[in-house]
Amino acid sequence: MLFSSITFLYYFLPILLIIYFIVPSKYKNLVLLCFSLIFYFFGEPVYILLLIGSSLSGYIHGRLIDASRHTPYARVWLISSIVVGLGLLGFFKYSNFFIDNINILFGTEITPLAIVLPLGISFYTFQILSYTIDLYRKEVAVQKNPIDFMTYVSLFPQLIAGPIVRYHTIEHALQDRKSKPEDIRVGVKRFMTGLGKKVLIADTLGEIGLHFQQAQETTVVFYWLYAIAFTLQIYFDFSGYSDMAIGLGRIFGFRFLENFNYPYISRSITEFWRRWHISLGQWFKRYLYIPLGGNRVDLKRFLFNITIVWFATGLWHGAAWNFIIWGLYYGALLLLEKLVLRRYLEKTPNVLRHTYVILITIFGMTMFNAGSLSEGFRNIGGMLLLSDAAFINAETVYVLRNYAVILLLAAITATPVFRLLKERLEHMTIVRRGFAAIEPALLVLLLLLVSGTLIDGSFNPFIYFRF
């Protein structure tokens, strides 16, 4: 089930809200758990038992770690939880990737397994591991209520595509939370903002990709147009999902941390990765990079640590070589910045620094978006005049003319220009009151516009559902 679907907006969510706010507080987690499992069942009926089993595994391992707190067995149970979690993730996500590569390397003909990637497994596996690791480190208390723990793991707003919520973040809210009118207002506004970003901007930008794939002849300009459109699309698609997840969480009394902070205004790749998919970056930093030694090691070990982290980051995103190359690409750039470029970037005008980041990101997203490593290099080659493609043709001009407005709007909206303008205007009392008065009407209008688009449009799942 998609947040951006008529079924969710007009059936699932209203029914859930009515029941949730009617039942006593002690039953609210049970209601959320039941509806979260229903939500997951709509999208992945086969693997709902895997979700439940993974949740129970995390719960049982947590109890065992706590029960053996002052014995060597606590570490044994922690390792067991990591092996089970990563083992399930590895089997379902990477088995066929390894089989394919073994067949290529050794000329074997091993038959790929008849499995598909379970929705959300990359996200809920990391959430479970954050709980057991933090519990072992004595940073959180053990959760003794299986309903509450399973609610944490399967909470539908962030179940499928994040943000990755550490147990520490909502530990107390699981036991005691209240949905105040202001929380509901802010949550609804945040949800609708994300919905608009997804349906009206990301999905429209996605149409450019369809034109590119169906084009009779590709051109240099079309390669660039496709790359720029996807770079903007994935931001609005994923940050839109995060906005919706954060908004829904706020309605139910949870405070999820931010997952995006205008990454395209960054002035270095280091800054970009502090602003993009923040929850994933923090997870790898906390549970992989720092345990490896972080940057408090000699140069050789530091290079190793960065390589491992960014290899894992690429592999986490997908079982394909283009994702691994994409991860190592960013790892190499971060190393280059830290060891060589930083002192030069600090003296470079901001406009050039922004241009540098945007160009690096566009090439990175081109590889990320490719169906294979060869396709990624082919598209990058087309952008760099390394193919026999014409520079431009009538079809490219047609697409560019039709989507110029949405491209410009998306580029502006990817910066905080509108937010800063609104904040400045709200210093004027009459403007602030005017915004407050018309906000409900604007949200209703946005809902109607989105609904009309969904009814007339086609099925457009979130990009990060793939991971």
Residue 416 lies in a domain: yes
Q: Is the same domain home to 17 and 123? A: yes
Q: Is the same domain home to 262 and 314? A: yes
* CA–CA distances in Å: residue 46 to residues 53, 158, 252: 13, 20, 28
Of the candidates 456, 458, 453, 22, which has an alpha carbon nearest to the alpha carbon of residue 196?
A: 453
Going 78 to 81 to 87 to 93, the CA torsion angle's sign is negative
CA 159 to chain centre: 11
Q: Is the same domain home to 352 and 218? A: yes
Q: Is the same domain home to 372 and 451? A: yes
Which pLDDT score, from 0 to 100, does residue 427 have? 79
Q: Is the same domain home to 27 and 169? A: yes
Residue 338 lies in a domain: yes
Q: Is the same domain home to 363 and 422? A: yes
Please state the φ and ψ torsions of residue 97, each to the nearest 5 degrees: -65, -45
Q: pLDDT (tens digit, 9 = 90+) per residue, 79-99?
A: 999 999 999 999 999 999 999
CA distance linking residue 63 with residue 149, whole number of Å: 11
The answer to whether 299 and 350 have CB atoms below 8 angstroms apart is no
CA distance linking residue 428 with residue 420, whole number of Å: 14
Give the residue from 127, 162, 177 where a domain finishes. Answer: 177
CA distance linking residue 388 with residue 171, whole number of Å: 57
Q: Is the same domain home to 201 and 270? A: yes
Give the residue from 177, 201, 223 where a domain finishes. Answer: 177
Total domains in the chain come to 2
Catalytic pick among 61, 317, 354, 427: 317
Q: Is the same domain home to 143 and 252? A: no
What the block records as the tokens of 338 is 């830290």
Residue 68 lies in a domain: yes
Give the residue from 156, 177, 198 where a domain finishes. Answer: 177
Q: Is the same domain home to 11 and 149? A: yes
- Give the DSSP H or E segment for 61: helix 48-67
Q: Is the same domain home to 114 and 29? A: yes
Residue 1 lies in a domain: no
Which pLDDT score, from 0 to 100, does residue 4 have? 85
Of the candidates 446, 301, 340, 325, which has an alpha carbon nearest to the alpha carbon of residue 374?
A: 325
**What residues of the chain score a pLDDT lower than 50?**
none
Between vectors from CA 198 to CA 194 and to CA 201, what angle results, nearest 5°?
A: 115
Residue 457 lies in a domain: yes
Has 317 been annotated as catalytic? Answer: yes
**What is the residue-wise DSSP string for 393-443?**
-HHHHHHHHHHHHHHHHHHHHTTTHHHHHHHHHTTSHHHHHHHHHHHHHHH
Q: Is the same domain home to 228 and 266? A: yes
Q: Is the same domain home to 13 and 112? A: yes
Which pLDDT score, from 0 to 100, does residue 464 have? 64
Host domain of residue 191: 183-466
Which pLDDT score, from 0 to 100, does residue 21 have? 95
